[in-house]
Chain A
Amino acid sequence: MNHAAANVLIVGVGGQGTLLASKILGLAAQLSGLDVKQSEVHGMAQRGGSVVTYVRFAAKVYSPLVEKGQADMILAFEKLEALRWANYLKIGGTLIVNEQEILPMPVITGEAKYPGQIFEKLARQDIRVIPVQAVRLAGEIGELRATNVILLGVAARLLGFKQEVWQQAIEEAVPAKALPVNLGAFTRGWNLQAV
Chain B
Amino acid sequence: MELYGERVTVIKKLLSGNEAIARGAYEAGVRAATAYPGTPSTEILENIAQYDEIYSEWAPNEKVAVEVAQGACFAGARSLVAMKHVGVNVAADPLFSLSYTGVNGGFIVVSADDPGMHSSQNEQDNRYYAKFMKMVLLEPSDSQEAKDFVLAGLEISEQFDIPVFLRTTTRIAHSKGLVTLGERAAAPMRPYEKNMAKYVVVPANARRLRLSLEQRLHKLARFAETFPGNRIEGSGKEFAVITSGISYQYTKEALGEKATILKLGMTFPLPENLIKNFIARFERVYVIEEGEPYLEEQIKAMGLRVVGKELLPRIGEMSTAVIKQVLLQEEAVLTEPLPEMPARPPVLCPGCPHRGVFYVINKLGAVVTTDIGCYTLGALPPLNSGETSICMGSSIGNAMGMSKMLPDKKIVATIGDSTFLHSGVTGLMDVVYNRGILTLVILDNAITGMTGHQHHPGTGFTVKNQPTNKIDLEAVVRACGVKKVWTVNAYNLTEVEAALTEAVHSGEPAVVITRQPCVLIEKNKKRLPYSIDKNCKYCKMCLRLGCPAIENKADAVVINPALCNGCGVCGQICKFQAIGKEAQS
Contact = CB atoms under 8 A, between A and B. Distances in A.
A87 B335 contact: yes
A62 B349 contact: no
Contact of A64 (B171, B332, B345, B548): B171
A45 interface: yes
Contacts of A112: 342-343
B551 A44 contact: no
A115 interface: yes
Contact of B339 (A91, A105, A121): A121
A37 B177 contact: yes
A61 B253 CA distance: 8
A190 B176 CA distance: 26
A93 B332 CA distance: 14
B330 to A, nearest CB: 11
A142 interface: no
Interface in A100-153: 103-115, 121, 124, 126-127, 144
B450 interface: yes
B317 to A, nearest CB: 9
Contact of B175 (A37, A45, A107): A37
Nearest to B334: A69
B12 interface: yes
B119 A91 contact: no
B14 A26 contact: yes
B342 A80 contact: yes
Interface residues of A, number: 58
A144 B550 CA distance: 20
Interface string B530-552: 00000000000001001010111
Interface stretch (B146-154, B207-215, B376-384, B387-395): B376-384
A97 B273 CA distance: 54
A140 to B, nearest CB: 16
A49 B344 contact: yes
Interface string A56-68: 0000011111011
Contacts of A167: none
B175 A70 contact: no
A62 B551 contact: no
B303 interface: no
A84 interface: yes
Given A104-B344, A104-B345, A105-B347, A48 B381 contact: no
A171 interface: no
A50 B349 CA distance: 14
Contacts, number: 175
Contact of B12 (A30, A50, A83, A91): A30
Contacts of B573: none
A158 B344 CA distance: 29
Given A36-B176, A80-B344, A103-B551, A109 B337 contact: no
> Which of B252, B338, B452 has the most chain A CB atoms inside 10 A of its CB?
B338
A43 interface: yes
B346 interface: yes
Contacts of A104: 342-345
A87 to B, nearest CB: 6
B151 to A, nearest CB: 22
Given A47-B346, A63-B253, A84-B341, A110 B319 contact: no
> Which of A42, A45, A103 has the most chain B CB atoms inside 10 A of its CB?
A42
Nearest to B254: A63
Contacts of B39: 42-44
B374 interface: yes
A67 B332 contact: yes
B174 interface: yes
A108 B550 contact: yes
B381 A108 contact: no
Given A30-B14, A80-B341, A104-B344, A91 B335 contact: yes
B338 A105 contact: no
Contact of A63 (B119, B249, B377, B548): B249
A41 interface: yes
B175 A108 contact: no
A27 B178 CA distance: 10
Nearest to B17: A64
> Which of B377, B380, B548 has the most chain A CB atoms inside 10 A of its CB?
B548
Interface in B1-42: 12, 14, 16, 39-40, 42
Contacts of A115: 339, 341-342
Nearest to B117: A44
Interface string B341-371: 1111111110000000000000000000000
A103 B263 CA distance: 45
Contacts of A121: 338-339
A98 B253 CA distance: 31
17 contacts: A14-B346, A26-B14, A40-B176, A42-B119, A42-B452, A43-B40, A47-B374, A48-B346, A63-B252, A64-B176, A67-B332, A69-B333, A69-B335, A106-B343, A108-B548, A109-B552, A111-B342
- 6 cross-chain pairs, A with B, having the tightest CB-CB distances, nearest first: A43-B39, A43-B119, A64-B175, A49-B346, A69-B332, A112-B342
